[in-house]
Amino acid sequence: MNRQTLIQQIRTKKSYLCVGLDSDITKIPAHLLQKEDPVFEFNKAIIDATKDVCVSYKINTAFYESNGLQGWQSMEKTLNYIPKDIFTIADAKRGDIGNTSTQYAKAFFNAMHFDSITVAPYMGKDSVKPFLDFENKWTIVLGLTSNEGAFDFQYLKNENQELFKHVIQKVASWGTDENLMFVIGATKTAQLKEVREIIPNHFLLVPGVGAQGGSLEEVSKIGMNADVGLLVNASRQIIFASNGEEFAEKARGEALKLQAEMALYL
The predicted-structure confidence for 214-246, as pLDDT tens digits, reads as follows 899 999 999 999 999 999 999 999 999 999 999
Domain span at residue 112?
3-265
- Using only C-alpha atoms, the chain has a radius of gyration, in whole angstroms, of 18
For the segment 83-129, what is each residue's pLDDT rounded down to a tens digit?
999 999 999 999 999 899 999 999 999 999 999 999 999 999 999 99
What lies within 8 Å, CB to CB, of 225 at 6+ separation is 196, 200, 201
For the segment 157-167, what is each residue's pLDDT rounded down to a tens digit?
988 899 999 99
What's the rounded Cα separation, in Å, for the pair 266 and 257? 15
Question: Whole-structure pTM over 0.85, yes or no?
Answer: yes
Q: Is 157 left (phi over 0), alpha (psi -120 to 50) or beta?
A: beta
Q: Residue 199: which CATH number?
A: 3.20.20.70
Catalytic residue among 44, 93, 129, 257: 93
How many C-alpha atoms does 180 have within 13 Å on its Cβ side? 25
Is residue 93 part of the annotated active site? The answer reads yes
46-51 own/partner pairs: CB under 8 Å, 24+ apart: 46/19, 46/21, 46/238, 46/239, 46/248, 46/251, 47/78, 47/81, 47/82, 48/248, 49/248, 49/249, 49/251, 49/252, 49/255, 50/19, 50/238, 50/251, 50/252, 50/255, 51/82, 51/83, 51/86
Q: Give me the number of domains the chain comprises.
A: 1
What's the rounded Cα separation, in Å, for the pair 230 and 55? 11
Q: 3-class DSSP state for residue 17? A: strand
